[in-house]
Amino acid sequence: MSHSEARERVLQAAERLFAERGYTAVTVKDIAAAAGIHHASLYHHAPDGKEGLFVEVMTRILERHRAGIADAVGAGGEDVRAQLHGIAAWMLSQPPMDMIRMALSDMPAIDAASANMLAALAFEAMIVPIVRVLYDARGRGELLQGDLGNIAGGIFSMLQGLHTLPEAYLERSRQEMANELIDVMLAGMKAR
């Protein structure tokens, strides 16, 4: 069971669909169809069914985010602006996700223990690194004013919003828009 080409196709299809539309809006038939197999065959690769599959792929996504964001932060050296632009680039390189929907809609629909685990992992993988980048910059003497936890959450929310903005509304690349929003926030933290 553990590793096969077909199983990987199932996991990738599930990742994309669950991240984009959420737990309740996606059916196992949707996933099987996207993976190119009959929905009964899906249970061969995911014996714990829809909920087990959801927990597995969300864990995978969040672990990958943690690693990708950590790399982006490292590549930014000691420049908070470069670090935040790097985090934005990483997030925009991944399938869009909606943490609000995860918290409000997906989590209540699954087993409580799994929900708590995923919520903690999401916080650790995506919010904490941004908070840390801001605190480290302040620690180096940069004049970043304000409640850094609040501001980190704000930056994260803006990046997610941008990521899921329909193409039709885009005049520039998402990366350019993300960088502008980050720059406005940084300038504001210094200016107040």
Partner DNA sequence: GTCTATATAAAGATAGAC
Partner DNA sequence: GTCTATCTTTATATAGAC
Site residues, DNA (CB under 7 A): 1, 4, 6-7, 26-29, 37-41, 43-45, 47, 49-51
Binding site for its own copies (CB under 8 A): 20-25, 96, 98, 100-101, 103-106, 108-109, 146-147, 149-151, 153-154, 156-158, 160-162, 164-166, 171-172, 177, 180-181, 183-192
Q: How many CA atoms lie within 13 A of 99 on its CB side?
A: 23
76 contacts which partner out of DNA, its own copies, none, CB within 5 to 8 A by kind? none
Residue whose CB is less far from its own copies, 113 or 191: 191
C-alpha–C-alpha distance, residues 27 and 54, integer Å: 11
How does DSSP classify residue 144?
-
Q: Both tokens of residue 21?
A: 């539309």
7 contacts which partner out of its own copies, DNA, none, CB within 5 to 8 A by kind? DNA
Residue whose CB is less far from its own copies, 141 or 166: 166
What totals of helices (H) and strands (E) does the chain contain, helices first?
10, 0
Residues 90, 34: contact at Cβ < 8 Å?
no
